[in-house]
Structure 1
Amino acid sequence: MLGSRSDIKIRKGKLADAAAVAETFRQSWVQAYRGILPHHHLENMIRRRGADWWASVIRSGDSLIVLEKSGTIIGYATLGFSRTRGPYQGEIYELYIAPVYQGLGLGEHLFEACRHGLDQRRLKGLIVWALAENSIATDFYWRRGGRPVKQGFETIGGQKLEKIAFAWSS
């Protein structure tokens, strides 16, 4: 069971978080993308995005926020200016919760923290891309009120994968 919400904290990522974020990334990506991404590509991506990679993200000043439970990082998100042309100025690039903590409502809190962070920057509208086969993500964004506004394809490891952009107006 989750316990009280007083043991949950969302904050800006710091350098000391790099290893824990890398582990959360590993766990959540294996769970989300096993069977969707080619195995070799998934393993290489996880290997490349270890603690040193996350430390460089944090050092660069990119917006990384972490979700803690009792002082342990169990989720993270990255966000900033939209990489997609159009009316949506803000984007959540990644939002992941460690598998053991999924389905408890924590992703919603992290998502709302991202929305607040983008609002603080006065970015109008929000867009998030998800692979169409990742039903956990697409269902999550749909339940949060996002609606598909664009579709595209990305070739990963020689495999063509559909991706869907979910958006929220200002």
Structure 2
Amino acid sequence: MSQALITIRRAMPGDAEQIAAVHDAAWREAYRGLIPGRELERLIARRGPDWWRAAVLQGSRLLVLSLHGSIGGYVSYGRNRAASLPFSGEIFELYLSPDCQGLGFGSRLFRAGRRDLAENGLETMLVWTLSDNKRAVDFYRRHGGEQVRRASEYFGAEKLGRLAFGFGPPAP
């Protein structure tokens, strides 16, 4: 019998290549058909290994899902960036490689990021997602998110809707 070694840990500079690969694959999976193609490719290209390495070295809060040493997903988070909304923390991004989706890993990463925020005094939090990203909208609703704001954002010439989900303090 073999057992999978699955951990969630802080990202290290040496993870940058694999985080970038997860980011690329996850964004193409999540946003193809939502974000215009040229704009999507431009957004993906901005987040190469050097960008991720710098984020880790600068102390960004970034956890990775490690499966036998390979990165299968990540969550980045920190202080809420929307001053007009009464939440202390924010999950900025949570992505899994397509082959890791639907297995409960997203929930594990979500809880780990939320727990770390709470342990650092940021007990309430916010998450933004594109309103047409049904998978993400359903995920955050299942995890107790309450829709607290609608907004829009331009991707190239196309205006897309965004939703903010608010979360109270995590259960003990």
Q: Compute the TM-score of the two structures, normalised by the length of structure 2.
A: 0.94
**How far is the alpha carbon of 1:60 from its aligned partner?**
1.0
**How far is the alpha carbon of 1:4 from its aligned partner?**
7.7
**How far is the alpha carbon of 1:124 from its aligned partner?**
2.7
Report the CA distance shift for 1:5/1:30 in structure 2 as closer, same or farther (over 3 A).
farther
- Partner Cα distance (2:43, 2:98) in 1: 18
1:22 equivalent in structure 2: 20
1:114 equivalent in structure 2: 113
1:42-69, Cα deviation, whole Å (9 max, x unpaired): 1111112110111111111111110011
Structure 1 gaps of 5+ residues are none
Report the CA distance shift for 1:80/1:50 in structure 2 as closer, same or farther (over 3 A).
same
- Partner Cα distance (1:93, 1:35) in 2: 22
- Partner Cα distance (2:16, 2:3) in 1: 24
Report the CA distance shift for 1:83/1:104 in structure 2 as closer, same or farther (over 3 A).
same
- Partner Cα distance (1:70, 1:169) in 2: 34
Structure 1 letter corresponding to 2:72: I
**How far is the alpha carbon of 1:158 from its aligned partner?**
1.0
**How far is the alpha carbon of 1:33 from its aligned partner?**
0.3
Aligned length: 168
Structure 1 letter corresponding to 2:96: I
- Partner Cα distance (2:114, 2:48) in 1: 27
The answer as to 2:58 corresponding to 1:60 is yes
Deviating above 2 A after TM superposition, structure 1's stretches of 4 or more consecutive aligned residues are: 3-6
